[in-house]
Every structure is written in C-alpha cells, then in structure tokens.
Chain A
Amino acid sequence: MKSKHKKVDYSKWGYIFILPFFVSFFIFSFIPLVDTIRYSFFEYYRSGIKEIGPNFVGMENYISLLGSDMLKYAANTLILWIIGFIPQIVIALVLAEWFVDARLKIHGTQFFKVVIYLPNLIMASAFAMLFFTMFSTNGPVNSILMSIGLTSQPIDFLGSAMGTRSLVGFMNFLMWFGNSTIMLMAAIMGISPDVFEASELDGCNSFQRFFYITLPQIRPILAYTLITAIIGGLQMFDVPQILTNGQGTPDRTSMTLIMFLNSHLKSRNYGMAGALSVYLFIVSGILCFFVYRMTNNDDPDGSKAAAKKAKKQQRRG
C-alpha cells in the first residue's frame, strides 16, 4: 500500500518558472560570450563579400591591439566619463538630500522627479542629433550667443576637442542624473528616521548630518551607482558616435573604446573585435572588484582586522 503521507513538493515549479531565464541567458548571452572569447584567438574577417578565416593565430590579435591606439581611446573614454559623472553624482546627491529632507518641504517633488528623469527616456541617438543641430556653427546656440553679443564669430563647438568632450559629458550628465537621484532618494529614505531625529537632538547641523549619517548609510547603493556608471561609461557609444558621425572627431579625441570596437565590426573583424571585448571584460571585472571591495568595507574602524591579527599571533605564540 502506498503511503498517503507523501509530501506535496512545489519546489519543481520554482525551477520551471526560472527556467526561461536560464535558457535565454544560455542562448543569448552565454554562447555569444564563449564565442567571442574563442574568436579572439582567430583571424576572422570579411574582405568584400569573401570571408577570410577563421584561422587560429594565438595571441596575435591581443598583441596588435596593444600596439594600436587602444590605450588612447581608453583614456578618451575615461575623460568623457569623468566629465559627465562628477556633476552627475554631485547633483544627484544634493537633489536626493533636498527632496527627502522633510524640513525643507519642497512642493511638487513628484513633478520634479518625473522631469529630471525624462531625459533618460529620450533615445540617446536622438538626443545626440538634437545637440548636434543645436551646437552646429549655424545652430540656434550660436545664433543666441551672437545676437546677445557674447561672441562676434560663431563658435565651432564640435570642431574642438574640449567642446566635443564637454558636450558628450554634458549629455551623459543630463541623461543620467535623474536616474541616480531617484536611486539615491530610495536609499536615503531607507535610513531609519530615528537616527536623524537623534542627531537633531544632539545639535547636528545639516552638513554633519549629510557627511556623517547619510553618506555612510547609503554606501551600498552608492557603490551600486558607481559600478553601473563605470560599466556604462566603459560602454559609452551612442552619444559620441552620433555626435561625431562615428569618427571621434577632431583627431580621434572623442573616440571611445566601443566606437573603436564598432569600426572593427564594419569589416566583420570578429577576431580583433573579440580580443578588444575580452580586454574590456577584464577591465570591467577588475574595476568592479575594486569598487566593491572599497565600498563594502565591513570593517570601518579596523577592529576586526586587529582581532584577526591578535588571534594569529596568539596561535603562533
């Protein structure tokens, strides 16, 4: 006779429900990832409509990339990212603090939250097109500057490295500060109000409150913002691509790594592009690791390390 006390097991449904994710991850992410790494060791491109390769060439792609201007493009990417990221995180922190601060009683926070998020909803390429038109030598910005008498000759914004880089940075800032603000607001709202009340009773001013309570408390979210921003920055592509017509003009000073990658893909150079992707993969891996370690320091006052050291010495002794 069969046991009637068979336990009803629902756990398999859990697995079945998450299965689609794993299947699609495997097909659309994992296989291409492995393929990319594999092709990076091959000479594999198209000349006209003739396919060359794949021929195994070992590390040759990696070596020839190091000999190219890759590092210069990495520096470009970093500069473009920093120009955008510093104002982004500063403004986002200030806005988040103000919006959450109950004593400031800002009206219409909901409205502003929507407005500052809006630029993110515009397609980056459309946004870049808009800026390209606005800041062209015959564009409205130059007309305004000239008609109020700030300049007599039209300024060639996109013709100078400074101008192009600042525009790219400014656009990235505009697009992403709303996103960061909302994320940081969520983090600040997660802090227990007791802490703030206690600090107020102790006579803490708003600067102290920000630097000694808010900042340390939102560190995990801040780390998350930083990591995603770094990875997003490494992949910076659409804005400078459209703004400079894919050329990174002038003199390739606004050519980012992914634009470099893209120009290899014009000839379907999977080998070289693969090698570049692997470099990017390694760099983002390392960056993530550092930032994560830095911000998830669970031993702020060094007491744990001291305890560990003491324990070690004890054992030896």
Chain B
Amino acid sequence: MKKRVVSIMLIAAMAASLAAGCGKSSGSDSGNGGSSSGGSSSGGSSSAGASSGEEGKVINIYSWNDEFRERVEAVYPEVKETSKDGTVTVLNDGTEIHWIINPNQDGVYQQKLDEALMQQADASADDKVDIFLSETDYVNKYTDADADAAIPLKDLGIDPDRDLADQYDFTKVTASDVDGVQRGSTWQCCPGLLVYRRDIAKEVFGTDDPEEIGQKVKDWDTIKATAEELKAKGYYTFASYADTFRLYGNSIEESWVSPGETTIKVDQKIMDWVNSSKEWLDAGYLDKNVKGQWNDDWNKAMSSASKVFAFLFPAWGIDFTLNPNWDGEDGVWAVTNPPQEYNWGGSYVHACTGTDNPEHVKDIILAVTVDKDNLLKISKDYSDFTNTTSGMKEAAEDDSFASEFLGGQNAFEYFVPVAENIEIAPLSAYDQGCVELIQNSFSDYLQGKVDYDKAKKNFETAIIERYPDITEIQWPE
C-alpha cells in the first residue's frame, strides 16, 4: 500500500510540474504571485501604476552588460552593496535591484526584453521591468509612442527642458518619440574621433602632433591625399571598409523608414559610402584581409604588428576595444579630429511602463544621467564622454582628465567640438537591421564576389526577411 502511495505521489508531482511549466504563459491569476522571487510580502500592491504611492521591493533592470551597474554603484548614493555574482544590489532602504543581463549579440537582449515587455501587464509587481536600457541603433523601437514601453520623462517628474538643460541636444532628440516627447535619458554621449599611431605618423609625416595630423585628415579629400602618402610607405589608413560606415551612416538626411511608411529609402550617403569604400579598397588604402568589424582580423589590426594607421572610435571604443587589443606600450596612440563629425553608439536609460518603483527609477535616472558631479566622476573613472555640456568643457581644460593610454593626452579637448557639431541622423525602428544588412550585402560587392546590382538585390531579400512589413526599397539615383 505504501509503495502505491509513493508512486502515485511521484506521478502527481511530475504531472503538476509539467502543468505548472506550461500554465505560466497563459495564467495571469494571482496564484502565480506566490512563486515570485525573493519571497517578499509585497503582493498586496497589485495594480502597479506609476501613480500608486507605495514603492515595490524589487527594481528589475534589463541591460546587456555590467556598464550601467558599475555606474550606478559608483554614483547612486543609496547603493549599499552588490552581491558577489553581480546579480543583486541592495539599497540602503532595503530595496533590491535585480540585474537581468542578456548579451547584445544576435539580438538576444532585445528578444528577452521584448518577452518581458509583452508580459509586463500580467507580471506580479516584483517581476515587472522597472528600468531597461537601449542602444542608439534600436532606441527608436522602444521610444515609439504607440508601443508605449518607455514612460515619458515628464510623467516621472523630470522636466527635460529644465532638468536636462545641460545635456547635449542630440541625445535628447534621439531619446524622443515622433511627437518630441522625451522617453529616455543617457549618461554618455558618443562623439567619435580619429585615433592614430604616433610611431607611424612620425615615420610617414615626420610629426606626430595631433594638431598637424588633424589638418591632414580634416575632410574626405584631404584624408585621401594623406592615404596615398601612407600607402607609399606600406601602411593602410584604416583597417576595414566598415570603419568609415558610421561617419556616413549616422549622418543620413532622412531616416531609413519614414514614420508610418513601409518603404525603405536608402540614403545617398550610404551609396557614397559604398562607392568611396570600393575606391579606397581598390586603391589599397584599406586592408583587404580585414572583412568588417568585430572579428579576429579586425582586432589583430589594432596590434603593434599591424600596418593600420588609424581607427575611428568614440570614447568607449578607445577604452573597450582598442586598449585591450593593443599589445604595445601606452602613449603610442593619440587622438585627433575625424574627417567628419559623427556619433557612434550610446546607451539610453528608460523607465518602463508599469513600473512599481517610479520614485527610485526617477532617482536613479537623475543620479546617473543628469547630476553633473556624478557625470564628471564617471568621465574620470570610466573615461566615458558624459552628457553634460558645461562639464565636458571643463574636462577639456582640466589635465586631470588626461588619458594614460593616450600617453597623457586629454582626449576631451577633441571630443567637445565634435559633440557640439553632431547632426544626429533621424532614426527609425528599422535602423539596426538596415545598418547591419546593408554592410553585409555590400561586403560581397566590395570584396568583388558579386556585382553592384546583385548586392542591391541581396540587401532587398535580406531586409524583407528581417522586417516582413517592409513593402518597397527605394535606391537613390
């Protein structure tokens, strides 16, 4: 008899666990609340609107790396401690921040975030997303007014005109929806520079002075003449054709897809990039063996054995990409003005619709992205170019902001004028796919595998696969 009871219980347990596994997606009943994390007792605050006075116990933050956590830990005064594995940060009042980190690669982060946003309305208070981050490439997807995923800053109690007056304007435009309602804020601003090797400069031009090199690369015509000089000595100007893409691609005049339309308009600037890349590649100004960015060959092009003279990077690129790949001494690289002002990247912080911690969220956004002292601290500790116009001007004149990797050069001096002149390209929700796929499709053309028309056709095929609602692709004449 006993045996039978045990076996029946085992089967029941198995069946129950199976049923529980599939019930989660459909079941929005309160019974699920019991299984939420932390075993907290805050199940009572069920209707979590931004208006309810009671704050939840758990703040869930979605991000793709530790960058934001490090900055919150560094500047948010309420932080008490973070667990060793970096998943939970406890605040002074006992509230816990849960960090939900998914890698950006292959769209994993967005998939997970989208899943969570879909379930946001049904999730129990402690499981709701409170803050999420987005990158410039896809910020538009989340600031969309119809999607209503990010709370307008005004509704949080932050007045963009007054509180964010010191931020760079283009970051505010980027984080706004079509109607100009700002739905996110960023601590970082990503003006890009030209980073070059002093040793090569000395050998080829006889000088490594940033001012003089800056004159040699000040616009596209001049830099082409410079490239010829470099080639004569056996050096490449840039590593790959993808290196210059952001300069063209982030200065397009019309967005890839106009709001409310389903037609992709490929900007003339993009075709300019294709044509000049082909010209440069054929002329031998670029390394033929480096195909695109973020691959092994590209990383190796940053080592001391490489023949590549310069890279185009914003602040994070110098710190996170160039520095780890460089195997020589500090002080070999220096920065100067790029041939064209551009912005590359940037992480935006959004308050998620339905959050049960609006006060904390507001505090965190203000502390990390608005407070000038905090931003300067971030600039100093993490070499970010931060989102404060007055603060960055001070940094440009303050030698304590000099970079060790750049041999004591103060890069902010060069970042500031670029940041002030950035014309940010109008965004659309389709940008990420367009930017990625146009580079992939025309890679084949640049390497001589397919002809120009075939590359166009491959882009059309790929983009319709990615975005089924696209009906037409228009190419510039």
Report A's interface with B, CB cutoff 8 A.
16, 19-20, 23-24, 27, 45-52, 68-69, 132-133, 136-139, 154, 156, 159-160, 246-247, 249-252, 260, 263-264, 266-267, 269, 272
Residue B147 lies at the interface, judged by CB distance under 8 Å to chain A: yes
**Residue on A nearest B117 in the bound complex, by CB:** A49
Q: A47-B469, A137-B297 are in contact. List 7 more A-B contacts (CB 8 A).
A: A50-B147, A68-B461, A132-B296, A138-B297, A138-B300, A156-B289, A252-B458
A-B contact pairs, 16 of them (CB 8 A): A20-B14, A45-B469, A47-B468, A49-B114, A49-B117, A49-B142, A51-B118, A52-B469, A136-B295, A138-B300, A156-B289, A249-B444, A252-B461, A264-B468, A266-B433, A267-B466
Chain A contacts of B233 at CB under 8 A?
none
Within 8 Å of chain A (Cβ to Cβ): is B9? no
Of A27, A69, A251, A263, the contact of B444 (CB 8 Å cutoff):
A251
In the complex, chain A residues whose CB is within 8 Å of the CB of B117: 49
With CB as the reference atom, state the residue of chain A lying closest to B469: A47
B440 within 8 Å of A (CB atoms): yes
CB <8 Å contact, A49 and B149: yes
Closest 4 CB pairs of A and B: A137-B289, A250-B449, A48-B141, A48-B429
Instruction: Tell me if B18 is interfacial: C-beta within 8 Å of chain A.
Output: yes
**Which residues does B use to contact A, with CB under 8 Å?**
7, 11, 14-15, 18, 22, 106-107, 114, 117-118, 141-142, 144, 146-147, 149, 289, 291, 295-297, 300, 429, 433, 440, 443-444, 447, 449-450, 454, 458, 461-462, 465-469
- Do B18 and A24 touch (CB < 8 A)? yes
A250 near B444: Cβ-Cβ < 8 Å: yes
Q: Which of B14, B289, B447 has the most CB of A within 10 A?
A: B289
Q: How many A-B residue pairs have CB under 8 A?
A: 88
Cross-chain contact of B11 among A19, A47, A138, A159 (Cβ < 8 A): A19
Contacts of A267 in B (CB 8 A): 465-468
Residues of B within 8 A of A249 (CB): 440, 443-444
In the assembled complex, the Cα of A10 lies from the Cα of B15 at a distance in Å of: 22
Instruction: Return chain A residues, CB-CB under 8 Å to B296.
Output: 132-133, 136, 138-139
Contacts of A69 in B (CB 8 A): 461
Task: Give A24's nearest chain B residue, CB to CB.
Answer: B18
Taking a contact as CB atoms under 8 Å apart, the answer to whether B11 and A16 are in contact is yes
The chain A residue with its CB closest to the CB of B21 is A27
Tell me which residues across on chain B come within 8 A of A23, comparing CB atoms: 15, 18
Question: CA A139 – CA B295 in complex, angstroms?
Answer: 12
| Cα–Cα distance between A47 and B259 once the two chains are bound (Å) | 13
Residues of chain A with a CB closer than 8 A to B450's CB = 250-251
Closest chain B residue to A43, Cβ basis:
B468
Q: How far is the CB of B452 from chain A (nearest CB, A)?
A: 13
Kindly name the residue among B18, B22, B462, B465 whose own CB sees the greatest number of chain A CB atoms within 10 A. B465
Beta-carbon contact of A266 and B469 below 8 Å = no
Which residue of B is nearest A19, CB measured? B11
Q: What are the residues of chain A within 8 A of B429 when measuring CB–CB?
A: 47-48
Nearest B residue (CB) for A44: B468
A residues in contact with B142, CB < 8 Å? 49
**A72 CB, nearest partner CB in chain B, Å:** 10
> Please, which residue of chain A has its CB at the minimum distance from the CB of B8?
A16
Please state if B297 and A136 are interface contacts (CB–CB under 8 Å): yes
Asked whether B466 lies within 8 Å of A266 as measured between CB atoms, the reply is yes
Task: Verify A263–B15 contact, CB threshold 8 A.
Answer: no
* Inter-chain contacts of B462 with A (CB < 8 A): 263
Closest chain-A Cβ to B449's Cβ sits at a distance in Å of 4
Q: A138-B296, A250-B450 known; A27 and B18 CB under 8 Å?
A: yes
B327 CB to nearest chain A CB (Å) = 15
A16, A69, A137: which has the most chain B beta carbons within 10 Å?
A137
B461: which A residues are within 8 A, CB to CB?
68-69, 252
Given contacts A19-B11, A138-B289, A138-B297, contact A47 B466 (CB under 8 A): no
Shortest beta-carbon distance from B437 to chain A in Å: 9
Q: Of the candidates A27, A46, A51, A251, which one forms a contact with B449 in the assembled complex, judged by CB atoms under 8 Å apart? A: A251
Nearest CB of chain A from residue B462's CB, rounded to whole Å = 7
Q: How far is the CA of A68 from the CA of B464 in the complex (A)?
A: 11
Smallest Cβ distance from A199 to chain B, in angstroms?
53
- Cα A298 to Cα B440 in complex, Å, equals 52
Chain B residues near A68 (CB, 8 Å)? 461
User: Cβ of A251: which chain B residues have Cβ within 8 Å of it?
Assistant: 444, 449-450, 454, 458
- Select from chain A the residue with minimum beta-carbon distance to B7: A16
List, in ascending order, chain B residues with CB within 8 A of A20's CB.
Answer: 11, 14
- The answer to whether A45 and B468 touch across the interface, beta carbons within 8 angstroms, is yes
Q: Are B114 and A46 in contact (CB under 8 A)?
A: yes
A264 to chain B: closest residue by CB? B465
By a CB distance below 8 angstroms, the chain A residues around B466 are 263, 266-267
- A266 with B444: CB separation less than 8 A: no
Chain B hits for A139, CB < 8 A: 296
Chain B's closest residue to A53 (CB) is B468
Residues of A within 8 A of B11 (CB): 16, 19-20
With both chains docked as a complex, state the minimum distance between the C-beta of A210 and any C-beta of chain B, in angstroms. 44
Q: A160 contacts which chain B residues (CB < 8 A)?
A: 449
> Nearest residue in B to A247 (C-beta to C-beta)?
B440
Q: Counting chain A CB atoms within 10 Å of each CB, which of B147, B291, B297 scores highest?
A: B291
Chain B's nearest CB lies how many Å from the CB of A268?
8
A58 to chain B, nearest CB (A): 16
Kindly state the separation between the CA atoms of A249 and B445 in the bound complex, as whole angstroms: 11
B144: chain A residues at CB < 8 Å are 48-50
A272 to B443, CA, bound (A): 27
Q: Which residue of B lies closest to A23 (CB)?
A: B18
Select which of A51, A52, A266 is within 8 A of B107 by beta carbon: A266
A47 vs B429: C-alpha distance when bound (angstroms): 8
Compute how far the CA of A290 lies from the CA of B114 in the bound complex, rounded to whole angstroms: 43
Determine which residue in B106, B107, B454 has the highest number of CB atoms from chain A within 10 A of its CB, and name it.
B106
B457 to chain A, nearest CB (A): 10
Q: Which of A45, A49, A154 has the most CB of B within 10 A?
A: A49
In the bound complex, how far is the Cα of B149 from the Cα of A50, in angstroms? 10
B289 A154 Cβ-Cβ under 8 A: yes
C-alpha gap A47/B146 in the complex (Å)? 12
Residues of B within 8 A of A263 (CB): 462, 465-466
Query: Which residues of chain A are within 8 angstroms of B458 by Cβ–Cβ distance?
Result: 251-252
CA distance A159 to B443 in the complex (A): 10
Query: Complex: how many Å from CA A69 to CA B440?
Result: 18
B150 to chain A minimum Cβ distance, whole angstroms, is 10
The interface residues of chain B lying within 8 Å CB-to-CB of A247 are 440
Shortest distance from the beta carbon of A290 to any chain B beta carbon, whole Å:
31
A250 to B469, alpha carbons, bound, how many Å? 26
Q: Are the C-beta atoms of A27 and B22 separated by less than 8 Å? A: yes
State the Cβ distance, A71 to closest chain B Cβ, in Å: 13
Partner of B147, one of A48, A156, A246: A48
Contact A159 B291 (CB under 8 A): yes
Closest to B19 in A: A27
- Which residue on chain B has the smallest CB distance to residue A263? B465
Whole-angstrom CA separation of A139 from B289 in the bound complex = 11
